[in-house]
Structures are given as C-alpha cells and as structure tokens.
Structure 1
Amino acid sequence: MCTSLWVCAASGFLCCLHWTGRAQSFSVGPTPETSENVDVNICSDNVASVGMCGEAASFTISLRTVDNITVMIKLRPGVSPGCQIHVKNVIRSELKIKPGDNVTFTFTCSTPEKYFIMEIQKNIDCVSGLCPFGDVHLYPPGLPRLNRTFIWDVKASTKAGLELKFSNPWLRQIEPGETCPDFVSYTINSCIDTATVNIGTFCRNGSVSRVKLLGGVVMSLHLPWDSSLSTSGFSIANRASIKRLCIIESILKGESSITLMSPNYPLGFPEDELMTWQFVVPSNMRASVFFHNYSLSNCERKEERVEYYIPGSLSNPEVFKLSDSQPANIAGSFNLSLQGCDQDAQNPGILRLLFQVVVQHPQVDENVTHLVDLSKEWNMTVTIHFEGWPSRIPLMSELICLVCKDPRTCDRVLTLVSGAIYKISFLCKDLSHLRITAEKSISCVDLRWCQRKIYSLSVPKTITQLPIRLHKFIWKLLAPDLINIEITSPSLKLQQHVPEQRCNTSYSYSIVSATPETELNVGVFCPGGSIEKIQLRNNITISLKTFGKGFLNESNHQDLKMSFVPHIKVLIPLFFSFATDECTFTVSPDPKARVYLQTPNWPYGLPPYVSISWYIIVPSKQVARLGFSKNRMGIVCETGRAYVNIKEETLGAEETVCREDEQLPEPRNMYHDFWVNVSNCKPVDKTQLTLQFWVTLPDTGWLGWVNELFLLSPNAPKSQNPMVGVYNANVNTQVPGRQGLFTKGRKNNESHVYAVIDDAMVYGHLLKESNGSVAPEVDVYRPFDGPIGSLPPSPPPFSFRKDIKCSSNTEEPPPLTDIDHDTYTFAHQKSEQLEDNGDKNEKNNGDTSMSLLENKEQDDLVE
C-alpha cells in the first residue's frame, strides 16, 4: 500500500513511493514501461533524481533501427540558453538521437521544459513496404517531460491514397493562429511529389472523423509538457484511390454548428485541384451552408465553383458560384466539393474559402409561407435579420434563425428589393430573435412635378403583417438645391423627446439633416404633440424605430407626410449674414400641457453659424406664456455673435433681441403668433449652444384679461405711447361661476366697446408736466350693478414696442389672475362721453346703438 504519492520528474508518470529507512531513500514501484523497481533519492533541494544526490535527472533513450524513429531535443525558439544537455561529460544545447542509438543524458537545470522542446519523427514507407494499418502509438516511452511533437511521415503512391481515421471525440478544424483549449493539436499535410499542402490544423472534440488524402501525408501531434495523453488518437485505416486532393468526412449529431476551411487557408487553394467534404447528417435533421469568407483566383481556363451532391435532388450535382447563396434546409447527408481552375501565371490570385454548416431540427412552421408584396414599391429594400445585426455578428457556434426565400435558399440575413413579390418562411424556434430593417429613398428631380405631390411616410402593411418585429424603417429624402423638405403630421402632430417631456409611444422618429459640410441631428420625435410641421433645407434621413409590441396596433394610425417646397422663408430678420437657417418648426401649443422645445444636436450643441426658428401659433382670443429653461445661453463666441430673437406676428410688434452675453428673457405673455429664433456664432472650445424653452396656454377667464390689461402699477412707466390695444367684442369668453358680477344686460348694445386706449390716458394721473405737455383728465370707472349678458367681453391684448433690447431687469406684465377689483382707472379725452353713455345705458336697459366714441372717430382710429 502506498504511503505517499510523487510525480516523478524523470519519467512523467505517477510513482508509488515506499519509505525504506532513516535516510532519504525510497523505492519506486513498477512503472508502466518496466516491471523493475527503481531506487530514488530525495535530495536536499527537493529534486527527485535517478542515482546519487547532487546529480540531475538522468534519461536513457534507446531506439531500434527497424522503427525508423529520430528524436531531436533543441532549444525553444526565442528562449535564452539558461539550461543545457549533459551527454558523456559533454555539454551541448541540442541532442539528436537517430535510429539504433542508445543515449543517456541529463539536463543542467531542474525545469528543462522551460528551455527545450522535442520532436519525435517516424518515417513510414507505404510505397515499397507494408503499410502499418491500425492504431498509431506514441513511441518511444519514458521521454522527458518537454513540449513535444510527434511527426509521422508516411510515403504513399498518388494512385493509392491514404485514409486517416480518428477515434471519438474526433477533431475540430481551427483557423491559423488559433489555439486549442487543452493545447493538444493535430496538423495534417498532404505530400504530392515535392509539393506540400496544408490540409488544416485541428483540435480534439469535433466532428471530423476521417481524412482521405491523395499520395503521402505528414501527420503531426503537438503535446504540451504536462499532457497525460498516452495515445495518438488516430489510425491508418486503408489505401484507396480518391482522384482528388482530399476528402474530409464530418459526422454531425444533434443540433450543432461547425466551421471548415479550404486547404492552405488563408493562402491559396492549389491550382486546378478538387476536394470534397462529406457531411453525415441524421435523416431527421436539416443542414444549411453559409460562406463567410472567400476569395477567387484569376482563371485562364475553366471556372471556380462549388458542387453539391444531395440525395434525392433532381439536378445532381448542383453547381453554385462562391458568391451565390448556398443551399439550406438540406434533409440528410450531402457532399460539398470545391473546384479550382487554371490560373493566370502572371497574376494567379488566391482561391480560399471559410464556411459554416449549421444543423438544426426541422422547424414547426417551416411549411408556412408569408407573402411580402413589394411590387408597387419604389427604391425600397427590406432586410430580415437576427437581433443585434449588424453590430453583433453571431458566433459560428451559435444556432441561428434562418429566413428562406424558397425551401432551399435560406440565410441568417435576407434582403428583399422593391418591385417583386416574395414568399418567405422562417427556420427559427423563436421568431422574437428576428428583426426587420427597411429603407426607402424619395428624391425630387423636377420640382414642377414633385412640388404638387405629398408623400406618405408610413410603413407598408405588407411589412407590419409579418410575424416578426419591425426594428427600424429609414426614409432617405433627397432634395435638390434651393428646395426644402417639409415634414408634417396633420392629425397626430409631433412631440419632441426631451428629458421633461419623454415619449411613451411604441415608436419614435429620429430626424437627421445632412449637408456635405455638417450633419445636424434635428431630434427625436413621437406622435401626439404640438409640432405641426418641420421644414429643413437639406437632405433628410428619418428613422422610425419601434419599442415593444404595441407598434402593430399604432401603425394603422401613422400620418407622417413629406413634401418638397421652395426654400425656407424666415419671417424674422437674421442679424448677421453668415448664419444659415437650417430648419423651421411650426408649433400649435396644447392648451392642456406645457410644450418643451429644444435646439437640435442636443446635447452636443448647434453647429457654428446655424440658425433655427420656431413659429408658435397662438389661438385666437388666447394668450401664450413663453419661458426659457435657463437664464443664459451658456456659450462664449470666438467669431460672430449668438442671438435669441423673439417677435410677434402683428403690425408694430416689438422685437426682443438677446446676445450670448446677456440674460435671456424672463417668462412673458404672447398675444399673437410669434417667432423664436436661435442663431449661433462660432463658440470657443468646450462651449456649446444648447437651449430649451417652453410654451403654455394658461386657462384664463375674462377677469384675468382685465387684470392683465388694467391692473397697472405706478412703478411701470413707459417711454413710448403706442396703441395699447383694440377690444374685440366677438369673443366667447364666458367665465363659469362669475355671471353675477355685472348685473346690467348688454347683449345688444356697444357700450362696452373700447376702440383705443393710449398710454398717456392710462398713466395720465401719474405723469407730470413735461416739455409743455399737460396731464390729462382722469376719471374713475365703477362696475355696473345691473344684469350682464351670457358672453362677457375679452380685454384688449397687448401690443409691444418695436426693437426692444433684452435686459436682465426687464419687467414683465403680472400673471393672469381671476382676482376681483372694484375700481379700474382709465384715462380719457372727453369725460362727458362716458357719462352720457352711462345715462343712455340706464334709460335703454342694456340696449343702445351708441359706442363709446362716435362712429367716425372710431373708424379713423381703427384705420
């Protein structure tokens, strides 16, 4: 019974050590190679050695002449000679032991595997002598534990090739430079006359069960120094004439994927040669072939091709070009052959091939076809692919989903083009791994024709009806010079995706505008917002991207449209000529929610010298509230100036202009449609112009209008006297719950109509005499006590002074409120008119034909 175990460095096998005395001597039990015991001493340096302590490990290699074996021990390439070989009192760096030699040697170090490698070559003559059929053994035994390569050089006639058979678990071919997990590899070379062809390098655990070669073969087995492999793993089966370079047999069991390469890969396949791969596939499985990497040589005669022999096929052999889609969904075993050609001697080129064979179970719905009708589409491609394509290429070992145009034409990526009708099927257990990406181009050549046309940017139903998810649909819109592209969403409108206003729909649109100089990411938009249209001056790419499974239902309501229009007409002036207006947004704010809008290219900033405009539509008889999300632009200009312009679309409206070094306006009320323009300079490094603003439509009643117009503070004098406002009597602004405030009916009179109220009239009691002017008379207006009609009037909206400079201390009008005030102060030129009207109102009980001013005066003022 063993009392301890020791791995003997000298022999490379497990020894049973028995304690024999008080000294350091042990008895080693019989080794696998001998039945005799060996005395082993454990020296003080813990190195096991054969013989006396202080000596290095000793090895004896005895080779018989009949075996025709040569052993070569030499330094590893690139390693400094830190260890040597000691033979008969001679120190050397390498040792060659030939057939018939008997050599004993030692190493001058305890770790020779770090410095030396060993080659054991056996020459076998199957031409003039008997061929040693059967298993090939690892010989001689008892070799030092070094990285070693066993080489079998077998000579054979080209008329009788050799067959190498590998024991289970067979072999797996690897690409040049790739290593095996256990560092055990096989290299097979074919020898025809003086030419050598590298058939391939293989690891263990694969599907390659046999290799038949024309002529001789050089078979190499590479073992690491610590490998315990004791058999070669192959045999020489027999000789057979194959009339081609080689035949590689691959046995595929169950669902699997293998990769194979042509001989000499990635170098060229021999000229005008033929080779075959034989695939043994269970009858209940399906195989598909995919060419991943190939190149063609320059042929003078014949043509390079691949040929398939498929049992049951009506056209064996089936011939394909290497550029063709290869057969798929093959039932049972089949052969694949590669045929070279006569190459151009001056420029031969390279024929090479790397391909994959995938074996899968038949799919449940493989006989179910889906119609994709693209016959009425133009300039469109539809690509069906696995999830993550093209950023993630599946591993060759992965089982993949296949898309088939017909039962034998399948691939992991299938592209369909417009103008045709397809019947496709899927070889995939889980269709959720498949995605659709489509692309359509729309261009305008003749504006006279395309300007009259509105194009629908919707996904065709033939795509949405497929049982796989649409990942992305891309429209590439190409416009000629001086022609713009207008994007509209008539019914749904668009919402810009911003942090404060995120899209929660099943799809969104990414809009990118591109010129030869720059690319502008306009933003991400989704349906259900306030943006009515976007007009851009460059070529546009719109990418519809889906999220989740809800797009199938929402796709029925798509209404995105586009048209080609003349160049953008910006209604507000640009303050510097080198700014180009890239796009204009038309926005109708939602009265129920705050609308957020931000500059394109967020968060990287507008490109230099680019101008963006927003046209905000304010509904009639309503007021909009405009505010910016930060108080400054946040940039420093290197060249030019950056501006924010705000201007209402009304006669005599003021224009607010803010530079990049000034504060942005505080929230303000806008009473007409208005423009917001952002124009960029060339910023200094590390500063970007990113701006966000919001628009709301406050819910205000009649009293709020009155407060906004008439609640005036004595601390708010104005430097100019423009027209304050014109009252519109045809406004439906009934305030719920406030009907009893006015008790006098005024349905049919005009006593409540005010034509013009001047600043001097409003502030008359506050102004002092200046430059000869006299303060006007002031009167007090008190509310009526009588009944009021059902439609209370709306107050006159503000108009603004012209060309107002942006300032940080600009005072804003007070917010709209519904607070009641009993007294309102007016300025007037004739106090008698107000009193006379009041008397007439009392007499006529709310029915009068007279206005506050005479008709002629009113007409003059309105004009």
Structure 2
Amino acid sequence: MAGQNCGATIALLGVLLLGAARPGAEASEIALPPGSDITVLIKPGTPALPLKPCYIIHNKRQLTTLIIRSGEKVNFSFNCQNPEKHFVIETQKSIDCMSGPCPFGEVALQPSTSVLPTLNRTFIWDVRAHKSIGLELQFSVPRLRQVAPGVSCPDGVTYTISGRIDATVVRIGTFCSNGTVSRIKMQEGVKMALHLPWFHKRNFSGFSIANRSSIKRLCIIESVFEDEGSATLMSANYPDGFPEDELMTWQFVVPPHLRASVSFLHFNVSNCEKKEERVEYYIPGSTTNPEVFKLGDKQPGNMAGNFNLSLQGCDQDAQNPGVLRLQFQVLVQHPQNESNKIYVVDLSNEQAMSLTIEPRPIRLSRKFVPGCFVCLESRTCSTNLTLTSGSKHRISFLCDNLTRLWVNAEKTISCMDQRYCYKRSYSLQVPGDILQLPVQLHDFSWKVLVPKDRLSLALLPAQKLQQHTSEKACNTSFSYLVASTVPGQDLYFGSFCPGGSIRQIQVKQNISVTLRTFAPGFQQEASRQGLTVSFIPYFKEEGVFTVTPDTKSKVYLRSPNWDQGLPSLTSVSWNITVPSGQVACLTFLKERTGVVCQTGRAFMIIQEQRTRAEEVFSLEDEVLPKPSFHHHSFWVNISNCSPVSGKQLDLFFWVLLTPRTIDLTVIVSVIVGGAALLLVALGLIICLVRKKKKKTTSKGLSVGVYNGNVNTQMPMQPKKFPKGRKDSDSHEYAVIDDTMVYGHLLQDSNGSFQRPEVDTYRPFLGPMGDCPPSPPLTGSRAPTAKLTTDQPSSSVPAESESEPYTFSHPNNGNTDIPLLDTHKPSEPEE
C-alpha cells in the first residue's frame, strides 16, 4: 500500500512538472530499422478517460490505435495536451535463438526513450529457445525485489518475467528495484517486460542475457545477501497454482558470518495422484543432503553460508487438481549467543500438556528487525514452536533479543471417577524445565475437570493469597487467575497473589487456574508459587473463600465478576476466622450494591459462628450495614437474583483485626448494673417480708405453687429447717403475667389485642460442617437477628474457636413466636 501511494505521488509530480514544461502536445517520429524484429504499438490506456476525447493524428486522420513495424518510419501527434492520460505505448522485440545464435549481452532499449512520446511505456523481449538451452537474466545493482501481482513499485519501474512450458506461458514473478534477486535462469525461452512511467527518464534496461546449459527445471532464482536483511519470494504463477509436476529452485548466497532462516508465510497443497509435493534443501556441510520437508513442517534455520531451496510438484488429480502455491521469507542476520546453546525440555512424564514459545506482541517498525526463531534440534526453526507431552525436546534460540519471546503452557487435569477422585490432590506447579528456559513464562494454565454434580474442588495455596483490588494491588511478579470453565457460565473469581489472608478457595465445578507472570524476576520468586487442588464433596455454592485476616493490615475482598457483576442466581460465601483475643471490624465500601432484580431477590447474610445469630439484608432495597464488630468467626454470604441488565450485583468490603480490650464505659456499666441489681434484691426481700405478714392473717389465691413433693434435703444430712415444708410458705412464689400488667399497651382502638408482625426465614436443613448459612426466603426484607440453640447436635464433635462452624436453624413447627429486634452494631463488650 505504501508503494502504491509513493508511486501515485511520483506520477502526480511527473504530471505537474511535464505539464508545466510543455504548452501542448508535440509531433513525434519513430523509425524502426529493417530486420530489427521490433514492433511499436500505441493504444488506449486502461482505463480510458472519456471526459474529453483524444486521438492520434497520422496522415491527417484521427486514430485510436497506431502500429509501427520493423523498417517503417512514422510521424504522428496527438490532438490533446495530456495524451499520457489516454494512451500507452508498447515496444516488443522478438529474439529467435532456435534458428540462429542468441544476441547475448546487455539488452538496450529500442527505440530509445528519448524518441518516444511521453506515454507510459512497456518494453517486451520475447526470447524463444530450445528445450535443452538455458537462458540467464542477469540484473545489475540495484537488484530486484519480488512483489505480489498487482502491487505497484514505489518508483513505478516494474519487471514482469515469464517462462514457457511448451505452448503454455508461466509467470515467474513481478519484481521491483532494490532487492536481492540477482539472476533468473530459465529453460525453453523467456518473456521479459519492463514497465516505465511516462515521466521516467530511464534509458537502460538494467539486465543482460547469457547462455547457460540446461537446468532441467522450470527456473532457478538467485538471491544475494551482502548483510543482514530479508527477502520474500513466491512460487511460479503465485497466487495461482504451480505447474503440475514441475521443479523450481531458489539459490541463496549468504556471507559465512551470517545465519539464514526460512519461514513459510502461506502455502497450499494440491491433490496428488503420483509422487508427493515437498521442499528440498541442499545445505553445504550437511550429511543428509538433500534434506526433505513437507510444506507443513517447520523449516530449517540457523544455516551458515549458501544454501538451495527447491519446490517439487506432483502428478495432480485430473478431476480435482487443487492448487499448489508457496510464499516464504528468508531472514539473514548475525548469529546470536544463544544459537549454539541447547535446552532440554523433558515432557515425557507429563500428560495432556502443551507448551508454546511464540513472539510477544510488539510495535511494528519500518526498519529491519532481526528475526526471533526457536529451533528444534538446532535446525528446524520457526517464529513459534509448540511442544507436546510424552516426549523429550531439545531446543535452541536464534534471536537477537530473547525478551521478544515468551512461553505459554496449558495442562488438563481430568478425574471423572467419583470413588477414585474423592480426597485426591494434585500439585499445580510449573515444571523446572520450563523455568530454566531463557525466555519469560507468560501463562501456565491448569484446567481441572470434575464429575458434574458429584464432586467440587478446593484450592490450597503454599502461601496465603491476597485478592488483587484497586485499593490494594498485588506487587508480586506473578498472580493466579481463577475462573470457571463450565460451558455457558462467565464467572471469574478474581486475581490472587501470595502474601495475603485467603488460605483456601472452594469452587463448585470445573475451573481454570492460570499462573501469569508480570516481570522477568519470576524465576527468583518461583519458590513462592505452588497450589494444591483437592477433590472434595460436592456443594451448591459457586465459591467459598476461607479467610484468616492478618492482624497488621486490612483484608480487601470483592465478589467474583467484579466488572460484569455476579451471575444470576448464584451464591458466594466468605468464611472469616477471628482469632482468640481479636475483634474483627467488617466494613462495606459502598452504601448500596446498586443491583436491580428482574426476578427473585438478592440477599446478604452475616452470621456469627459461635452465637449462631445471623442478620439478613436485602441487597436490592436496603442500605448496606454500618461497620460492625465481631468477636468470633463469622460468615458473609451473598445470593444473587436475576438482575436487570446493567444493574448487576457486586460487593466490596474489608476486614480489620484489632486486639480485644475492655472499654471504660463497659466497666462503668457493670458497676452501675451491679448497684441496680443490689437495690432490686433488697426491694424483693422487703416485699417478701410484707407478703409473709399478710399471709398470716389472711390467705389469698396463690398465683403459682411450687411442687412440694420434691425432696430438698441431701441424703445423710441433718435438717436445716426446724419447720416443715407444709407449715412454711418458703416454697410459694408469685408469677406475674406481663399481659395483666402491660396488656393495655397491646390493645388497638377497638379494644382487641394486637399481635406483632414477624419475619420468616428458611431453615437450614443441610449437614453440619464447613457450610455457609443458607439464604432466606425471597419474601424476607427487614434485617433480622435470629438466635439459635446454644448447643450443637450431639452427633457433631466440638470444634475450637479457630475452626469454621455451621449453624442449624431451629424448626419447632411454631413460627408465630415474635423474633427479637435487631439493634445497630456497636463496639463489643467483654
């Protein structure tokens, strides 16, 4: 494209200069010597411009085409000032090397450009020779550069070279100036065309013809390198099909202090009936010449000195021949320090693993950029190389800067037998052979597959992990990216790095864990990497994070899919451990989540694991709770609804541990409370004394009577009360019904009693253990504090304070009991 623009610019400049130099079209005269076998044809250009007709004036006649043959002399002119926009001129010379000797040597332009009108000119030489005769076109400096057909050269000067196979013309290629092609040898004749723009003053052909012996193939193209550089070359008739069962050769001349590498840019193969399409290399010093490769193989590299490359066709299927074509690049550069060093990558004991060494994305430059190749067994080189498990590989590098390459690897761990997989563990660690390579490891991904709805997975890091957030970014040289690989589920759990407080991540189904590096210093920190994945009993939540906060810093946590929002109808929990003697402050960074539900409700549950009290919040309607303090380990659980598009659920909070202390206000409250209890006790004693005196005179109706049949004396102990129980009133006490005292407060305007409104919740009926709280019914809205029984079921062993807890809701069949009011969180009391 750049060449086309440049050529158009030069053409426009030539139009302006010559248009300004000549006021009108001048008369021209062309005289062709007899026996020169030259024909000149002036014809309309393509496309013709019909805006203003222009004609050739010859013998007072208006012509659109004029032919001048050998031995003729013709005068003509044009009736317009810009004939170059309407006409082109072709000069064709026939050279017969079959009936007589060929005129070898430098080829001249006949007639000279100085006598031709200022039109776009094409000089054509048609040389016919016997099949046993080889002809060689030699090009002077600057040499030629091959381009695809239809591409314009920057200076407008273009060579088109064709050969012959019997009566069939075969296009060898289109060439511009400033390249590496120095010679082209052909057999059975050649047709050479030189295209010059009308404003170009060039008056020489730039090539010569020499006689050579039979080459026994279609053609040989010689490419000469004097220093570092590259050349792109194409098979004959490209992009059309290479002739059937033909042979074409490229000869490369490379200084011995440089190294050459071949890479195929594009190729197609045809349908062969006989033989096989292939490429053959002749490399000086090789003990296996010729070295044969298929077109799909990795091609040789790191070659010192001259070498040949040949393309061999086959006998094609007549009904469906297909197309054989090849476009390739030869890159020549100085040898690198790593080119002679061999690295062994042993994947013989690995399964379902692949490793790719490839170029990392870089900005393109117009300057020459040395190639970066990976070589297998020092000879088969390419810009990228993929190694598979089950084999041992020997590789080397031909690259000026190894930071231009990186490594990406992938391994699949699949365990589908539930009985065999249960409680099994696998280490997710980068093999040492990969770490010893001199190129950066970019990604190493493990895909872990489990039996659907039968087992889940737990990730246990060698060092506790930190979740990457904007408030606290990872500053390590690598991190782990954890995502679900369940088809149709877009769930990204987050990016995690060592040095945090997350000691376990549990996921429901198949996941992908990717170790991604961010700096070359990963080799120094490689000892910090290491995950263990275990197969655990199946659970229904998408993920459970077990967090043990550090006492020195805040722990920032955010919900999965932070950018897109938690997927619909999914639930995630955080199991946060509070060590003994510490208090955890739970703070949400936003007042509201912003989620808008289309169907269902979104809830959050905060549940203390020791007291078994939980608070339920609607994430759609309510403001998130203020900072709260927790003395014991607790759960944070969120359950999503089906949100409206654009109003997704995301949650961001932090946890901070502080030492547990007794506040002065707590001490004052205890003292005041103790004094109050003492006064109440004295008042009760006085009341009981007065009541006793009244009973001696008159016995009223007892509100409540203690069972006097119970023996209150310990065995073998003397009696301490001289009076008998039947004569004493110490076993009688009063029971005051609250509704008798405060009943008037519960009456409505009609005098009937009101019953307080109660919330509902869904009881947790699952197994006891490390399970998060279950979400409430979708009808729940108000925050609710629920108190459960103090003792767990006798079938569950007691757990220490640092262990996770599971809570079971009481379900006695009576849901009419009013629940306690929930107060705002306050500073904890001892």
Relative distance call for 1:339 and 1:509 in structure 2 (3 A) is: same
Deviation at 1:330, TM superposition (A): 2.0
Distance 2:143 2:434 in 1: 45
Query: Which 5+ residue runs of structure 1 have no aligned equivalent?
Result: 1-8, 16-44, 50-54, 570-580, 714-766, 774-801, 819-863
- What is aligned with 1:666? 626
Counterpart check, 1:78 vs 2:47: yes
* Partner SS for 2:356: strand
Of the three residues 782, 790, 796, the one matched with 1:805 is 782
Deviation at 1:393, TM superposition (A): 9.4
Deviation at 1:47, TM superposition (A): 6.4
Relative distance call for 1:615 and 1:153 in structure 2 (3 A) is: same
Deviation at 1:413, TM superposition (A): 1.7
Which amino acid counterpart does residue 260 of structure 1 have in structure 2? Answer: L
Distance 2:149 2:671 in 1: 87
Deviation at 1:704, TM superposition (A): 7.3
Contact 1:483/1:537, CA 8 A, preserved across alignment: no
Contact 2:592/2:624, CA 8 A, preserved across alignment: yes
Contact 1:12/1:145, CA 8 A, preserved across alignment: no
* Partner SS for 1:442: strand
What's the CA shift string for 1:778-836, capped at 9, x where partnerless? Answer: xxxxxxxxxxxxxxxxxxxxxxxx988249x9863334699xxxxxxxxxxxxxxxxxx
Deviation at 1:653, TM superposition (A): 0.9
Counterpart check, 1:562 vs 2:536: no
Which amino acid counterpart does residue 84 of structure 1 have in structure 2? Answer: C
Counterpart check, 1:437 vs 2:408: yes
Instruction: Name whichever of 558-567 and 196-205 sits farther off.
Output: 558-567
Contact 2:486/2:511, CA 8 A, preserved across alignment: no
Relative distance call for 1:652 and 1:113 in structure 2 (3 A) is: same
* Partner SS for 1:771: helix
TM, length-normalised to structure 2: 0.76
Distance 1:100 1:588 in 2: 102
Distance 2:670 2:131 in 1: 111
- What is aligned with 1:358? 331
Counterpart check, 1:500 vs 2:471: yes
- What is aligned with 1:21? none
- What is aligned with 2:518? 547
Relative distance call for 1:431 and 1:565 in structure 2 (3 A) is: same
Where is the helix percentage greater, Structure 1 or Structure 2? Answer: 2
Of the three residues 806, 814, 819, the one matched with 2:826 is 814
- What is aligned with 2:603? 643
Of the three residues 204, 215, 218, the one matched with 2:191 is 218
Deviation at 1:238, TM superposition (A): 1.6
Instruction: Name whichever of 291-300 and 422-431 sits farther off.
Output: 422-431
- What is aligned with 1:336? 309
Deviation at 1:497, TM superposition (A): 0.8
Relative distance call for 1:228 and 1:628 in structure 2 (3 A) is: farther
Of the three residues 448, 473, 491, the one matched with 1:477 is 448
Contact 2:581/2:659, CA 8 A, preserved across alignment: no
Counterpart check, 1:681 vs 2:641: yes
Of the three residues 155, 158, 170, the one matched with 1:185 is 158
TM, length-normalised to structure 1: 0.73
Contact 1:444/1:480, CA 8 A, preserved across alignment: yes
- What is aligned with 2:722? none
What's the CA shift string for 1:127-154, capped at 9, x where partnerless? Answer: 2233221111222232222322222111
Of the three residues 81, 85, 88, the one matched with 1:114 is 85
- What is aligned with 2:433? 462
- What is aligned with 1:607? 567
Distance 2:123 2:668 in 1: 99
Contact 2:604/2:639, CA 8 A, preserved across alignment: yes
Of the three residues 346, 352, 355, the one matched with 1:379 is 352
Deviation at 1:245, TM superposition (A): 0.6
* Partner SS for 1:113: helix
- What is aligned with 1:164? 137
Contact 1:172/1:206, CA 8 A, preserved across alignment: yes
Instruction: Report the identity percentage.
Output: 52
Relative distance call for 1:560 and 1:706 in structure 2 (3 A) is: farther
Distance 1:288 1:709 in 2: 86
Of the three residues 419, 423, 448, the one matched with 2:419 is 448
Deviation at 1:380, TM superposition (A): 1.9
Counterpart check, 1:277 vs 2:250: yes
Relative distance call for 1:811 and 1:97 in structure 2 (3 A) is: farther
Instruction: Name whichever of 264-273 and 608-617 sits farther off.
Output: 608-617
Which amino acid counterpart does residue 587 of structure 1 have in structure 2? Answer: V
Query: Which 5+ residue runs of structure 2 have no aligned equivalent?
Result: 1-11, 674-738, 746-775, 785-820
Contact 1:484/1:536, CA 8 A, preserved across alignment: no
Relative distance call for 1:146 and 1:650 in structure 2 (3 A) is: farther
Which amino acid counterpart does residue 743 of structure 2 have in structure 1? Answer: N
Deviation at 1:508, TM superposition (A): 0.8
Contact 1:704/1:816, CA 8 A, preserved across alignment: no
Relative distance call for 1:183 and 1:46 in structure 2 (3 A) is: closer
Contact 2:460/2:505, CA 8 A, preserved across alignment: no
- What is the RMSD computed on CA atoms of the aligned residues? 3.2
Distance 2:29 2:105 in 1: 28
Counterpart check, 1:202 vs 2:175: yes
Which amino acid counterpart does residue 537 of structure 2 have in structure 1? Answer: P
- What is aligned with 2:493? 522
Of the three residues 251, 269, 280, the one matched with 1:296 is 269
Which amino acid counterpart does residue 465 of structure 1 have in structure 2? Answer: Q
Of the three residues 577, 584, 593, the one matched with 2:553 is 593
What's the CA shift string for 1:670-716, capped at 9, x where partnerless? Answer: 33322222333333333332321222223442227937997999xxx
What's the CA shift string for 1:98-155, capped at 9, x where partnerless? Answer: 3333333333333333333332222222222332211112222322223222221111
Relative distance call for 1:78 and 1:655 in structure 2 (3 A) is: same
Contact 1:60/1:104, CA 8 A, preserved across alignment: yes
- What is aligned with 1:426? 397
Distance 1:772 1:663 in 2: 35
Distance 2:599 2:46 in 1: 62
- What is aligned with 1:511? 482
- What is aligned with 1:147? 120
Which amino acid counterpart does residue 54 of structure 2 have in structure 1? Answer: Q
Which amino acid counterpart does residue 276 of structure 1 have in structure 2? Answer: T
Distance 2:63 2:610 in 1: 103
Distance 1:226 1:712 in 2: 110
Give runs of aligned pairs for residues 312-351 of structure 1, distance below 5 A: 312-351=285-324
- What is aligned with 2:808? none
Contact 1:85/1:105, CA 8 A, preserved across alignment: no
* Partner SS for 1:381: strand
Instruction: Name whichever of 322-331 and 521-530 sits farther off.
Output: 322-331
Distance 1:310 1:711 in 2: 99
Distance 2:243 2:671 in 1: 97
Which amino acid counterpart does residue 438 of structure 1 have in structure 2? Answer: A
* Partner SS for 1:232: coil
Distance 1:691 1:388 in 2: 35
What's the CA shift string for 1:587-606, capped at 9, x where partnerless? Answer: 12222211111122221222
Which amino acid counterpart does residue 770 of structure 1 have in structure 2? Answer: Y
Distance 2:486 2:467 in 1: 23
- What is aligned with 1:770? 742
Contact 1:654/1:804, CA 8 A, preserved across alignment: no
What's the CA shift string for 1:195-230, capped at 9, x where partnerless? Answer: 111111111111111111111211111222322322
